[in-house]
Structure 1
Amino acid sequence: MRVFFAARAGLWDAWAPALRAACPEIELMRDGDPAGFDALLYAPGYPEDGHEMDFAPFTRARLVQSLWAGVERIVGNPTLTQPLCRMVDPGLARGMTEYCTGWAMRAHLGMDAYPQNGEWRHDIVPPLASGRGVTILGMGELGRSCAAALTGLGFRVTGWSLSGRPVPGVTTLPGAELDRALARAEILICLLPDTERTRNLLNAETLAQLPKGATLINAGRGTLIDEAALIAALDRGRPAHAVLDVFRQEPLPPGHPFWSHPGVTVTPHIAAETRPATAAPVAAENLRRAMRGAPLLHLVDRARGY
């Protein structure tokens, strides 16, 4: 099985050994006649000359396996006619859960309310987790993992998704009930993909539905938030604080107002990394399925964009 590694050169040393260990039968290559490859492994940033990837010459390929969870950078590529699968990596889900749980706990406990200035602040007593409402926007693999962790800690978790598909143990609301989901969100966690229906979902109108003093944690996509509307909303205290890991432009420019706003914490897109050790077996399984004509895992719905 000949597989083309369509990813930046800097990723090769980490991915090649993991992929070969998970799938010894592959011949993994970074160059060669495109018509001779059975599948592609793709990561954003390729090709490195800044041009859009041309999938048309890969006439024999039965699969394009993304090495990232997000596929918005290629799903609309007109040359991409091969089946496209996104990465659903157990390590990525674990990392996202740890990130969101950590920041949710920090907000819940008010851990930033204690400046080390010699002042004894004994007037801030947080409720128990059972007295705190957390809403998660996006109840896919990542959202369900975060919901399970936060429910286990005792939080009152509400899930929201466009479909409203039920999730055991979590109150799940459908797309039409976004206002209700936001009104419950003393802590709001955003894990939605970038699609036409989710862009600017959090805008002046919807942010105003949050409880005063709420905390927003966005580890989904930067396009979910109207940035100017968020800054104005922070100035009004709805939300009171935003932890942002993803942005419309990355790296976030040094002069961007998020860096200097007292109500914003910026983290540099580190909430959940795809780790070759846990992701390579997922890619290997799909490569084997493609070669034997079996149903593929995590096949992207082109109409929905994920």
Structure 2
Amino acid sequence: MSIILASTDFWEDMDVWSNSLRMAMPEMDINVYPDEGDINKVEYAVVWKHPKGILKKYPNLKAILSLGAGVDHIISDPDLPKGLPIIRLVDKKLTHEMCLHALHWVLHFHSDQYLYRIQQFNHEWNQKSSIQSEDRTIGIMGLGNIGKSIGDLLVNLDFKVIGWGARKKEALGLIDYSFGKDKLSSFLSRADILINVLPKTQNTANLLSKKELECLPKGSFIINIGRGGIIDESDLLILLDNNHIAAAALDVFTEEPLPENNSLWSHPSVYITPHIAGQSNPKSAAKTIAENIHNIQKGKLPYPIYSNENGY
């Protein structure tokens, strides 16, 4: 049996990934596409933005595993084999990186660093009164593994944390959670800093347009590390221009790479990073992927399996 490793992203070092997988699963043959070996022996595909159509080539494929937290790069394949489990990557190192990225921007906005940067360019010395963390409300959209971890981190730093999602959740500790679209407006109205960690699904596409964004308090901030296409970028620019939203840190976009002529690039209140908030750690992720493959071989369920019904 063998594993096929495939990616079209040039930043992904396939040698590092293949070596990490070989260390985690020395009993398996690891092939990197297009060097497939015997296609009849391929039982697992480990992919990130794989060349569309290749997965149907392997007649004995048992499962498809993502090299990252998202799977939209998999389910968008029009020739995706039917009936195979698709396993998302939930890895502690990836979650840790997402937490650090979110914390960086929360502290940046909370401590007025965005204003002091502008003042520096203008040679201005103007001290702002500080706001205590317990007086700052952080709203998190998407309370899965990553969102919950971000929330717990911020709670431990004495921020007030509220959460919103599509479904009821239990055991969220000190995070004040609400769910359902009927509760979205009231949730947004309380969020001084909004962090989006939602996956993109049919239900979340363009979820935050002008009407919803206007529910945020005037002078609020947005941090988007979930998926592009959830926040309407044109409407976001309108609310940034009229200062309803003070600033936004964006890591994901409707179209990636972000086109050179997109107005977000040059907006003075927008901070852009190229989808790097939660980069997978090959050594750590390989162990997680190996554990899931070993579970499948033992007849156990891998975790987490993508749900077509839920969209994540």
Deviation (angstroms), 1:226: 0.9
Other structure's SS at 1:65 match = strand
Alignment counterpart, residue 297 of structure 2, candidates 291, 294, 297: 291
**Identity of paired residues, percent?**
34
C-alpha contact (below 8 Å) 1:7/1:42 kept by paired residues = yes
Whichever residue aligns with residue 204 of structure 2, its letter is T
Name the CA distance, whole Å, in 2 between partners of 1:270 and 1:66: 16
Matched residue, 1:57: 57
For the aligned residue pairs, the C-alpha RMSD in angstroms reads 1.5
C-alpha contact (below 8 Å) 1:245/1:266 kept by paired residues = yes
Name the CA distance, whole Å, in 1 between partners of 2:232 and 2:114: 26
Whichever residue aligns with residue 133 of structure 1, its letter is T
Question: Does 1:280 pair with 2:286?
Answer: yes
Name the CA distance, whole Å, in 2 between partners of 1:270 and 1:42: 18
5+ residue gaps, structure 1: none
C-alpha contact (below 8 Å) 1:75/1:302 kept by paired residues = no
Name the CA distance, whole Å, in 1 between partners of 2:192 and 2:142: 17
C-alpha contact (below 8 Å) 1:19/1:281 kept by paired residues = yes
What per-residue deviation string (whole Å, max 9, x for no partner) do you get for residues 200-242 of structure 1?
1110110010000000000111111111111111122221111
Alignment counterpart, residue 108 of structure 1, candidates 110, 120, 126: 110
Name the CA distance, whole Å, in 2 between partners of 1:203 and 1:118: 36
C-alpha contact (below 8 Å) 2:48/2:73 kept by paired residues = no
What per-residue deviation string (whole Å, max 9, x for no partner) do you get for residues 78-104 of structure 1?
532211101111111101100101100
Other structure's SS at 1:6 match = strand
Question: Does 1:257 pair with 2:258?
Answer: no
Name the CA distance, whole Å, in 2 between partners of 1:303 and 1:11: 33
Match runs of 1:63-78 below 5 Å: 63-77=63-77, 78=79
Other structure's SS at 2:249 match = strand
Matched residue, 1:209: 215
5+ residue gaps, structure 2: none
Matched residue, 1:20: 22
Name the CA distance, whole Å, in 2 between partners of 1:5 and 1:16: 7
Other structure's SS at 2:167 match = coil
Other structure's SS at 1:231 match = helix
Name the CA distance, whole Å, in 1 between partners of 2:213 and 2:271: 18
Normalized against structure 2, the TM-score is what?
0.92
C-alpha contact (below 8 Å) 2:87/2:304 kept by paired residues = yes
Give the count of matched residue pairs.
Answer: 300
Q: Which stretch of structure 1 is more off in the superposition, 80-89 or 96-105?
A: 80-89
> RCO greater where, 1 or 2, for CA within 8 Å and sep 6 or more?
1
